[in-house]
Structure 1
Amino acid sequence: MSDSDLSEFASIVERLERGEVPMKSIERELICPICEELFTQPLVLPCQHSVCHRCVRELLMPNHDDSLSTDAGSESSNPGSPRARVPSPSTEKLERLVRSGNPLKHMPCPNTHTCSLERVSMLFRNFTLESIVERYRQAARAAVAIMCNACKPPVQEATKSCMDCKASFCNECFKMNHPWGTPRAQHEYVGPTTNFRPKVLMCHEHEMEKVNMYCEVCRRPVCHLCKLGGSHANHRVTSMSSAYKILKEKLSKSIHYLISKEDQVRTQISELEEMMRHTEENGQLAERRASEHFERLLETLQERRTEMLRSIEQSRSLRVERLRAQVEEYQGMLENSGLVGYAQEVLKETDQSCFVQTAKLLHVRIQKATESLKMFQPAATQSFEEFVLDTSKEELLLKELSFSGVPAPPVIDLSRCRVYNEGLIHWRLSEDTLPTDHHIVEFRKLGSEEEQESGWSASEPVFGCSTVLSDLSADSSYTFRVKSCRNRVYSPSSPEVTLHTPPAPVFGFLFNEKCGFSAERLQLSKRRDSVESVAGMSLLLAAERVQTGSYICLDYIIGDTGISHGRHYWAFRVQPDSYMIKVGVASDSKLTEWFHNPRDTSSPRYDHDSGHDSGSEDACFEVSQPFTLLTVGMGRLFIPKASASAAGDHSSRVLPMPQRIGVCLDYDAARVFFYDADTMRCVYERPVDCSGTMFPAFGLLGGGAVHLEEFITAKRLSYL
């Protein structure tokens, strides 16, 4: 340690001694974490935290007498000592430590909960902390004096405390108990205190040895016997003087750093207090503004309420007035009314010229009344349906009312997105996001620079978390992104995702249960959009009858819609645990013949593929073969040997099974293509005989299932 550091440390100590650092400010450092009172005879745990001696004993030995070791006996037995006034650990604290799963014989550290101990005797007493607590106690009770332990009544106030006798004395008693010329005169004495520490720390394992080394592994003082053959034999230890110097230097530097940053800490405290004040003010301002907004909403609602109720009242009054006038008019048609009576009196007139003169106008009135009776219609409607108020949308808006702010960007869910002629885009919002008003999906086609410069196209506002985008070009890549809107404020765009559309328009179909369908071994869903192969008793019986060199046949099923021209694309999912499934196309020219001739080796019921990927069936491929199929199963996709992949040469003919498989039939070019429907990568293509109508075809062997994509079946169902 340099001279400057020593002087700095000395100045720190002087500040503490002068009281510039008040003892009251360090009170929280002097509290036992178990009994939550000032430390009394604290012991140092292996984790370097301190706990009162009595707290340790009560945790380890609850029924043991709390008598301390010989060097502490005088204080514990003294009724006036601070230890006697410290309460035992609270029952609640003890029960909490026990419930934590640590047995009482292994006391956990109340701060770290990591270290444990079994014996009190293995702990050192923290005399430094004990001295600080004693000084704190004396500062707290400045008017209370320490009395002489040797005086006869009246007892005098102590002026010295002997560290060897572990007692306090007044001047006269000290001289009497430490006469000149005797060994007692050499005892060490300090000012009045109740904290008596031994002059030298003794080793717990070797009671006659002084502690003169420091184990850096266990971080505790040890003696030389501990290092030579004890529990610290293989540990790295240093001399006590070296450890003292190093630790004191580190501590002084740390204290120096804290003191040097005192102004900075005070500035930061001021800033935090200013932030607290501004937070209070801004919070109150936000409350007032929110209250003003609600008051304006209430005023607007009250105004609209008054206007709409007035409108209803006016309409009601007008309708009632019209109906009342109509009632009066109809009452005039009654026999005892004025009009009928007047008409009867006019009929009594015998003078022809006078009758005609009067009856002309009367006849018009009577005729109008007659027509009114024939075509009765109320003068006003009694229903007020046009005044029914639908506030559901407004109520929803009020329920979703939130503070303005930029919403978090959504994330497009690729696992649920699909692109065909149309694009089905799904996205999700973060869990802690506030409700949004709507979303906007933006997309653009990737290709030439002119197309990219045309910018992004945007969908109509979407109020859910998915939408369908129409009129996408075939065999093209599109980039999609989504933005959320709340209170007319748009979020940043979601991360962009690129999806590739199929090479041809979507072909819609369902499974056909009428053409060659084996109801014994295939189960078709009610919507005919999925088929499952059941390896049941019928398959076992069929295997029992198989001769050597023969193979169990596949069960075929085709689509209910055929293709006779153009390019078409469809997609499906094969259940991952399926044993063997063949997928592709079939010609109608021989379907009927094949399905009715199971013993013909060219029939689909006589399958050339044994299930072993030998490739021989592909090597002898004939263009005229009605079924053109690709084998998938057991989580794999098998590329035939004689194939030429559009994606280039494959290092292996066995590929992982795609999550979705796509098939594209180019009828005019007489070729069929097989794709990974998620990446739109072509994995296999081959020629096919398109002389007749072509149907999607599937062959199943053993357990397995095929599920058509929703876009494929939805297009077909729309025509049914």
Structure 2
Amino acid sequence: MNAMENLEKQLICPICLEMFTKPVVILPCQHNLCRKCANDVFTASNPYLPTRGGSLASGGRFRCPSCRHEVVLDRHGVYGLQRNLLVENIIDMFKQETSSSSSSTPATERKEESPMCDVHEEEKINIYCMTHGVPTCSMCKVFGAHKDCEVAPISSIYQTKKSELSDGIAMMVGNNDRMQGIVSQLEEACRAIEENGRRQKTLVCEKFDLLYSVLEGKKREMSQKVTVEQEEKLNYIRGLNKKYGDHLEESCKMVEQGIQTMEEPEMALFLQNTKPLLKKLTDACSTAHLDKVERGYENMDHFSVEFTKEGRALKSLDFLQDDEDEDEDEEEGEGEEAGGAVTTPLQQQSAST
């Protein structure tokens, strides 16, 4: 019996938490999923891909819910994954064995231990109080604290709460996939900011080198501004990345806790642990407290300079002639105008702020 129970645990899908349903697909990481569950995870991770017949048919990617390994699909989508015929055959043999065992089981089966009521120590907990949301015993309903409460059979509430927990776990798995995608985007944004910062600083240095030592101070100033904004953006993205990473890690722990709770065979204990866990799952699914990066936040193209006009003015400079006092004055005035015209978009932006 223990061997069959251990085998059944190995045949449980990590998404629907039920025994695998045909066809069973095998992922590149060697983990298995029901094809329908794989398609559901794929749909949640790729909401904008075109669909065919209600399911995704084109290539895409998603992460294995068991090990977080990234699964890259070809143009056939989920239908391109290989079926695990060995697991399907094991499921068929398991079902045949369990059906034959159940038919030959004696009528006096072993009864599982059930928790007893704290108030009526000789009474088993066999009903569920809908008013207070706790399992209790029949004596509490007749004579005790729950005599005026609405109650229901514990088996029906067990199935309802188990379905709610299963849905919550599936929602959390999908939410974790989305957060993993956000974390990947944030990491890519960090790389883009670093690359854009390096490129813009190089361009700024090249522009300023044309003006030699006259503009060396300005070059250092603008390069410093690029560096400051780069660090500010990187610090913000890294901080946001850490928040999403911490939220993802906490969500994964809740998923593991939920899966462990799903394995609780005793209905009353399961119901005692489910209510706070469902609330935690609901709270953890919310990412409203996490900031979102605005589109183009990593762009640093506004650090651009253009010195074509100033370059022409500098090239037109020449030695002053002693016999051309008036021309000298005019050239000095033109030189001052040319020097005052060296403005950049960064200066304009600084003046406006």
Tell me the TM-score normalized by structure 2: 0.29
Tell me the TM-score normalized by structure 1: 0.16
Q: Greater Rg, structure 1 or structure 2?
A: 1
Higher relative CO (CA 8 A, sep ≥ 6), structure 1 or 2? Answer: 2
Q: Which has the higher strand share?
A: 1
